[in-house]
Amino acid sequence: MPFEIGIRGCIVEDSDKWIYDWFGETAVCPEDVRKVLSEARGQPVNVLVNSYGGSVFAGSEIYTNLMDYAGEVNIRIDGLAASAASVVAMGGRCAMSPTAQIMIHNVSTSVAGDYRDMDKTSETLRIANHTIASAYSIKSGMALDEALAMMDEETWMTAQEAKDKGLIDEVLFIDEEQRSIFANGGLMNSLKNSAKSLYACIPILDKEKMIEAYNARREGIEKPIVNDDSESLARAKSKFLNLRRIEE
């Protein structure tokens, strides 16, 4: 049975973890991860992520430990992988629930001091942004500048959007047909296209035949009011059944 690591709640430094434990707050620190990896001894490890992030340095350490692990690392984003947690999610093969989200943004901090302190802090944050962006770039193959631009915008992504960017490897619970639907603009577009195709297959009412049928009915004679096109009817039935299957 694979070993399991939970990345939940706040990602904190080893020295701060006791505070969260004292107050009963959910948190994870690098030592928690190292302990499981040490016990696993190269066996497969599952990493379950639902975290809003935390310390950029603790997140970096966890990411490095996962990347350096000799065994198989399978990451699953169950709810949220935001900020430092999104960096951790880059540390192995990553699958993501279709209801989950990833958020990446710039590193932030607070500081007090004069203008020199502010200038120094600004430069430190820029450096930290580049180091974090490298995790996204390594995972996805995107250019570092693209990752930095996404961080500047505080980018939130669905599972499919993250997969399209190469930040995850799989969207959970989606079969190949559903994957195609999501990749081509979503379910609503698929339903619209199916409805258009269905409409196109319906035999067209002939105005003259309608008048003829109306007059025939007045005389007590039953006549069809549509063209007798069995092939079109068959196509319409097939489209209708496919449409129902998609809706279900």
Catalytic residue among 83, 86, 137, 190: 83
Residues 6 or more apart whose CB falls under 8 angstroms from that of 210 comprise 225
Q: Is 83 a catalytic residue?
A: yes
Count other Cβ atoms within 10 Å, centred on residue 7. 27
Separation of first and last alpha carbons in the chain:
35
Residues for the chain: how many in total? 248
Whose CA is closest to 147, among 162, 134, 158?
134
Structure tokens at 115: 């203008």
Query: CA gyration radius for the chain?
Result: 28
Catalytic residue among 105, 140, 190, 194: 105
Q: Is 105 a catalytic residue?
A: yes
- What residues are labeled active site? 83, 105
